[in-house]
Structure 1
Amino acid sequence: MSSVAGEPAAPTVTNDYDDFAEAYAAETESNLLNGYYTRPAVLDLAGDVAGRRILDAGCGAGPLLEALRERGAIVSGFDASAKMLELAARRLGDGVPLVRADLAGPLPYPDDAFDDVVACLVLHYLEDWRAPLAELRRVLVPGGRLIVVVYHPFVYKLLYRDADYFGVTEFSEDYTFDGRPAVLTYWHRPLSAMTSAFTEAGFRIAVVSEPPAAPGAREMFPEVMEKIDNSPTGTFLSFLFFVLEAA
């Protein structure tokens, strides 16, 4: 289990999830982008997970771990935020190994420890993917899967029209999570840089997905969905999803 995080030092600190963990968890529990888009899409891509050992890399407060466990997976998770791990431990109870670790550094797991790893909305915080992908490949069994969700590179170009799409560029965005201000800083990279990083790390790209919102999204968020896309599929650009297979 994780230890309790200290008191936040400031109301708005870049990527300081300890500072806004509870607000982030509350905001993303059942909102459109997380509750009715990202998590359902990851679960669809994962398919039948009964009996599979799955690591959630950057597990946050644990909603995806909980959903995978309910489907019969044997789950573990790590996160860089002690406060997020505290929330995950409270949610999941005993029996789910939770470790404080940073994807940018060595991971505290043996080789071939997992059948699947999920890296959902975490790689795009890192400038250099080489060491993180090598570690994720190391802890996967041969033939294991890495499910990745990242900021869609085309959305970056839509938002920042004068930016160089083909560069690896740092950018920040302001958010309000459950009334709490926060700043998140990302690294944009073009699709070609993503795919090259995956293959150089020893992965085969099995699926590239731009999924629609989950069933029920239009009923829950009718005004938002109408503004985003008038099509009946509910498809819109936000994140990009990959399923990679460890060679």
Structure 2
Amino acid sequence: MQADHYDGFAASYDAENASSLLNACYERPAMVRLAGDVRGHRILDAGCGSGPLSAELRARGAIMTGLDGSPAMIELARRRLGDDVPLHVADLAEPLPFADDTFDDVVASLVLHYLEDWVAPLVEIKRVLKPGGRLILSVNHPTAHVINHPDEDNFATRQYSETFELDGEPAVLTFWNRPLRAMSEAFAEAGFVIAVMDEPPPSPQTPRELLTPRLASGERTAFFCFLFVVLEPR
């Protein structure tokens, strides 16, 4: 997965994540809303990064465990979460270091799109979920890639890189784009069914100065970014 690539810009990514429109005011509130009432739930944050989603869910009563491939991100998560949240440096593309039926829920926030193969990681996540558990995930929306790259084969699963500015610092991120069909096939092959699929707007609490003029006017067609899915083992 090459998650340790994040070591080079972990601090700037964490700073951007803390207050940006896409992370703080869109993706994270949507994940928290989909998780719902998590009091007493044992939750694995798979690809926890610096821990902001774990912090939000812990504040709502969840018993959190975090996992990320970047040692620098895990160190930031330890500073944020303290010693009462077990944190592991591990690659989501490898077998997970947990027993069967350990977690009530798994959250995977903006992580699967870094992987070429989804089936093996999803099978591992299913293994560590308790019966009746949920996988709550967010990924890059395939339609956003179509809009930004109209000349490419957007029905193929293919790798691409983009340069982002994170808290004023440039960083190159590499993703795997896959069409919705390929996503649903991977979910089914791993033994999951889709319980929820969502394309929410930004949080109503988003500061107005973070919104583009079209978003501030309420125009939903101006906003395609992430896709949110809740999966349940079948």
Note whether the superposition's TM-score is higher than 0.5.
yes
Q: Whole-Å Cα distance in 1 between the matches of residues 173 and 138 of structure 2?
A: 16
Q: Whole-Å Cα distance in 1 between the matches of residues 4 and 124 of structure 2?
A: 22
In terms of fraction of residues, the more helix-rich structure is 2
Give the aligned partner of residue 224 of structure 2: 237
Change in Cα spacing, 1:14 to 1:99, as seen in structure 2 (3 Å) is closer
Confirm or deny that 1:196 pairs with 2:177: no
Change in Cα spacing, 1:14 to 1:58, as seen in structure 2 (3 Å) is closer
Counterpart amino acid of residue 173 in structure 1: E
Change in Cα spacing, 1:44 to 1:234, as seen in structure 2 (3 Å) is farther
Is 1:212–1:234's contact at 8 Å kept on the other side of the alignment? no
Q: Whole-Å Cα distance in 2 between the matches of residues 180 and 232 of structure 1?
A: 30
Counterpart amino acid of residue 241 in structure 1: F
Q: Whole-Å Cα distance in 1 between the matches of residues 137 and 3 of structure 2?
A: 23
Confirm or deny that 1:55 pairs with 2:44: yes
- Please tell me the root mean square deviation across aligned C-alpha atoms, in Å: 1.7
- Matched residue pairs, number? 233
- Of 142, 152, 162, 2:151 maps to 162
Is 1:14–1:182's contact at 8 Å kept on the other side of the alignment? no
How far did 1:216 drift? Answer: 2.2
Is 2:214–2:222's contact at 8 Å kept on the other side of the alignment? no
Confirm or deny that 1:72 pairs with 2:61: yes
Q: Whole-Å Cα distance in 1 between the matches of residues 221 and 31 of structure 2?
A: 17
Q: Whole-Å Cα distance in 2 between the matches of residues 19 and 228 of structure 1?
A: 33
Is 1:15–1:185's contact at 8 Å kept on the other side of the alignment? no
Counterpart amino acid of residue 125 in structure 1: Y
Q: Whole-Å Cα distance in 2 between the matches of residues 177 and 232 of structure 1?
A: 26
Confirm or deny that 1:105 pairs with 2:100: no
Q: Identity over the aligned pairs, expressed in percent?
A: 56
How far did 1:14 drift? Answer: 9.4
Confirm or deny that 1:122 pairs with 2:148: no
In structure 2, stretches of 5+ residues that fail to align are none
Is 1:14–1:183's contact at 8 Å kept on the other side of the alignment? no
Give the aligned partner of residue 179 of structure 1: 168
Matching of residues 23-62 of structure 1 within 5 Å: 23-62=12-51
Change in Cα spacing, 1:233 to 1:191, as seen in structure 2 (3 Å) is closer
Give the aligned partner of residue 7 of structure 1: none
In structure 1, stretches of 5+ residues that fail to align are 1-12
Confirm or deny that 1:217 pairs with 2:185: no
Give the aligned partner of residue 71 of structure 2: 82
Counterpart amino acid of residue 17 in structure 1: Y
**What CA deviation, in whole Å up to 9, does each residue of 1:19-62 have, x standing for no partner?**
00001000110110000000000000000000001000000000
